[in-house]
């Protein structure tokens, strides 16, 4: 396909013009309809993170699983931290683990805690594509979170459609278009017939109508 930036920006402008003004900053959302993909085959399903060229205008909710200095620095930066003892407590309460998985977008764990994390949280976080990223004790909290500001999760399990946020109303249109092109390029490279698997592409604001990218 790969979509022309000009066409993406045209659809983006129409989407913003067609949307009523709201008293909050609306997100810009992308919908990609796929075709000719057998989702009964596990290799054709998607549940993966993709790092985009630009931020998506949303601060991600990141949970740190850590002890020592990394835990201290993550707390000082204002992030939710689970220590080793709290991890033990979670192992006895599956409901709390599910609530945690729903509340946070991304998880980061000190590398030496990963075996315990796998036993405690793996059965819940794994299927959701949210297994923690292992990091060393001296990892830079700010740079980890900055990277997640550009991360999106592509999910396609039972329906041949992908919906995700690619920006916000106030973002530079070129940056949103770059994000859209990055996702389309990934999808074209992921499946055997490339662009022929992409049926249609739409952009919309949170509360506005969907506008097709021609």
Provide CATH 3.30.190.20 ranges for the chain.
5-57+150-212
Give pLDDT tens digits for 144-160: 999 999 999 899 999 99
Does 3.30.190.20 match the CATH number of domain 5-57+150-212? yes
pLDDT tens digit sequence for 168-187: 999 999 999 999 999 999 99
Under CATH, which number does the domain 62-148 receive? 3.40.50.790
More confident residue, 2 or 184: 184
Ranges in the chain annotated CATH 3.40.50.790: 62-148
pLDDT digits (tens, 9 = 90+) for 192-208: 888 999 999 999 999 99
- pLDDT at 1 (0 to 100): 52
Terminal CA-CA length for the chain: 11
């Amino acid at each position: 396909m790969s979509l022309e930036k000009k066409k993406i920006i045209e659809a983006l402008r129409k989407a913003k013009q067609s949307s009523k003004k709201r008293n909050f900053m609306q997100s810009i959302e992308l919908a990609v309809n796929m075709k000719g993909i057998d989702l009964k085959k596990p290799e054709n399903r998607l549940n993966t993170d993709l790092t985009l060229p630009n931020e998506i205008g949303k601060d991600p909710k990141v949970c740190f699983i850590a002890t020592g200095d990394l835990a201290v620095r993550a707390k000082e930066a204002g992030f939710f931290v689970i220590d080793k003892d709290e991890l033990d407590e979670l192992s006895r309460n599956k409901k709390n683990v599910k609530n945690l998985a729903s509340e946070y977008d991304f998880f980061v764990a000190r590398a030496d805690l990963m075996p315990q994390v796998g036993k405690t949280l793996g059965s819940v976080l794994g299927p959701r594509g949210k297994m923690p990223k292992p990091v060393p004790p001296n990892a830079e909290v700010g740079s980890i979170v900055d990277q997640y500001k550009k991360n999106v999760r592509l999910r396609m399990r039972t329906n041949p459609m992908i919906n995700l946020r690619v920006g916000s109303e106030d973002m530079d249109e070129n940056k949103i278009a770059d994000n859209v092109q990055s996702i389309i390029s990934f999808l074209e490279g992921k499946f055997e017939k490339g662009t022929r698997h992409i049926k249609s592409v739409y952009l919309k604001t949170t509360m506005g109508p969907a506008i097709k990218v021609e």
